[in-house]
Structure 1
Amino acid sequence: MDLGIAGRKAIICASSRGLGRGCAEALAEAGCDLVINGRDVHVLEATAADLARRFGVTVTPVVADVSTPEGQATLLAACPDPDILVNNNGGPPRKDYDQLDRAAMIAGVVGNMITPIELIQKVIGPMSERGFGRIVNITSSSVKAPISGLDLSSGARAGLTAFLGGVARDVAQKGVTINHLLPGKFDTDRLVGGFARAAKEAGVSVEEAKRREIAAIPAGRLGTPEEFGKVCAFLCSVHAAYITGQSFLLDGGLIRTNF
């Protein structure tokens, strides 16, 4: 399917690996010129070179921490007028709610709620003036169903979702959409670390911990960054212009809910 966005400019945050890279790859395949972002210069530059070579689009790597004003300024200096913004950022470390101090809570809210809002504030006006914009926020399945130890991440991302609910309706008539992707268990470096932690807690091997977690997923496997990216790219396409303010759960059926 032609997504109708060839030649569009996209910023994808935290996109040197994992789900962010999956989104960058799918948008590059659709013909978008990209600004990708990460904090490991070697991994980021390798990703940029690979995407540019495979898809023949312009890929600009920006080393920056998007949670900081300086990092956001650097990102937007590389692409002042993006047509597409994919917000993504690492969540705070897993920790029980009663172990969180004020500084940790502020950092979690800044990273997973305030930062994407700040970036949206900077790009949504020009998008509205041009009559086209696609904003996709990568949140978490824990926004829909709680996960022990991820209370801070869940709260911050749920706050982002609620904050943008009205904004999405305000700009819909201007050709700008805002949607959210809620990943479950995907085959990424972050999840591998989770297997190691689960193995230690259960006193089993990492492979056994992985097997148990996969067994609980109705689809019988982990998701891939590539298929996650395809959903992101569709939401950025001309075909998704009538979809806004929605949260899409991608978890292989793990959360048992009809709505």
Structure 2
Amino acid sequence: MDLGIAGRKAIVCASSRGLGRGTAEALAGAGCEVVINGLDAARLDKTAAEIHSRYGVTVTAVAADVSTPEGQAAILAACPEPDILINNNGGPPRKDFRELDREAMLQGVIQNMVTPIELIQQVADGMAERGFGRIVNITSLSVRMPIAGLDLSSGARAGLTAFLAGVCRQFAAKNVTINNVLPGKMDTDRLRGGFERAASQTGAAIAEIRAAQAAEIPAARFGSAEEFGQICAFFCSAHAGYVTGQNILVDGGLYPAAF
């Protein structure tokens, strides 16, 4: 399917690897010029070169912490008038809620709620003036279904969801949409790190832990960054202008609900 966004300018935060990279690749494949972002400059440059080589589009790498004002300024300097914004950021590590102090809680809220709101504040009006905008926030299945140890991440992302529920409707008539895509168990470094942690705590083999968790998913497998990216890209497409304020689960059926 032609997504109708060739030549559009896209910012994809936290995109040197994982779901962010999968989304950046999907948008590049649709013909977008892409600004990618990450903390590791060497890995980011390598990713940019690979995406450019594969798709032939302009790829700009911005090594910066998107959670900081300086990082956001650097990203927006590279793409002052984006047509597409993919909000993505690392979340706080797994931790029992009793172990969270005030500083940790504030940092988690900055990472997963404040940062995407700040970026939307800076780009949404320009999108509205130009008559096209697609904003996708990569949140988490944990917004809908608790995941042990991720209470801070879940709370911050749920706060973002509620905050934007009203904001998105202010822009709908200007062909600017804001949606959230909620990944479940995706085959990324973060998930694999969880297997390693569980193995060290229980003594079980990583392969056994992986197989047991996959068996809990109706699709009987973990999702890939590539298929996740294609879903995000569709909600950035010219065909998705009548969809806004939605939470799209990408979880292989793990969340058991009709609505």
**TM-score under structure 1 length normalisation:** 0.99
Q: Secondary structure at the match of 2:249?
A: strand
Percent of pairs with identical residues? 68
Shift of 1:101: 0.3
Shift of 1:98: 1.0
Residue 198 (1) aligns with residue 188 (2)? no
2:18 maps to amino acid:
G
Residue 5 (1) aligns with residue 5 (2)? yes
Q: Secondary structure at the match of 1:155?
A: helix
The answer for the alignment partner of 2:166 in structure 1 is 166
How is 1:77-96 mapped onto 2 (pairs within 5 angstroms)? 77-96=77-96
> Partners in 2 of 1:198 and 1:256 — Cα distance?
24
> Partners in 2 of 1:213 and 1:113 — Cα distance?
28
The answer for the alignment partner of 1:178 in structure 2 is 178
> Partners in 2 of 1:178 and 1:254 — Cα distance?
24
Structure 1 unmatched ranges of 5 or more: none
Contact preservation (8 Å) 1:199, 1:208: no
The answer for the alignment partner of 2:54 in structure 1 is 54
> Deviation digits for residues 125-153 of structure 1, max 9, x if unmatched?
10000010000000000000001110000
Shift of 1:203: 2.5
The answer for the alignment partner of 1:14 in structure 2 is 14
> Deviation digits for residues 186-216 of structure 1, max 9, x if unmatched?
1111111001112233320111111111111
The answer for the alignment partner of 1:240 in structure 2 is 240
Shift of 1:115: 0.2
How is 1:24-103 mapped onto 2 (pairs within 5 angstroms)? 24-103=24-103
The answer for the alignment partner of 1:137 in structure 2 is 137
Q: Secondary structure at the match of 1:7?
A: coil
Shift of 1:44: 0.5
Shift of 1:2: 0.4
Structure 2 unmatched ranges of 5 or more: none
Shift of 1:257: 1.1
1:43 maps to amino acid:
R
2:23 maps to amino acid:
C
Shift of 1:258: 1.1
